[in-house]
Amino acid sequence: DMKVTQMPRYLIKRMGENVLLECGQDMSHETMYWYRQDPGLGLQLIYISYDVDSNSEGDIPKGYRVSRKKREHFSLILDSAKTNQTSVYFCASSFRDRGGAEQFFGPGTRLTVL
Partner 1 sequence: KTQVEQSPQSLVVRQGENCVLQCNYSVTPDNHLRWFKQDTGKGLVSLTVLVHENDKTSNGRYSATLDKDAKHSTLHITATLLDDTATYICVVGDRGSALGRLHFGAGTQLIVIP
Residue 71's region, left for phi above 0, alpha for psi from -120 to 50, else beta, is: alpha
CB of 80 to partner 1, least distance (A): 27
* Residue among 30 and 72 whose Cβ is closer to partner 1: 30
* Residue among 42 and 70 whose Cβ is closer to partner 1: 42
* Residue among 48 and 79 whose Cβ is closer to partner 1: 48
Peptide bond preceding 39: is omega within 30 degrees of 0, i.e. cis?
no
Residue 2 neighbours by CB under 8 Å, 6+ apart:
26, 27, 104
Chain residues binding partner 1 by CB under 8 A are 4, 30-31, 40-45, 48, 50, 90, 94-103, 105-108, 110
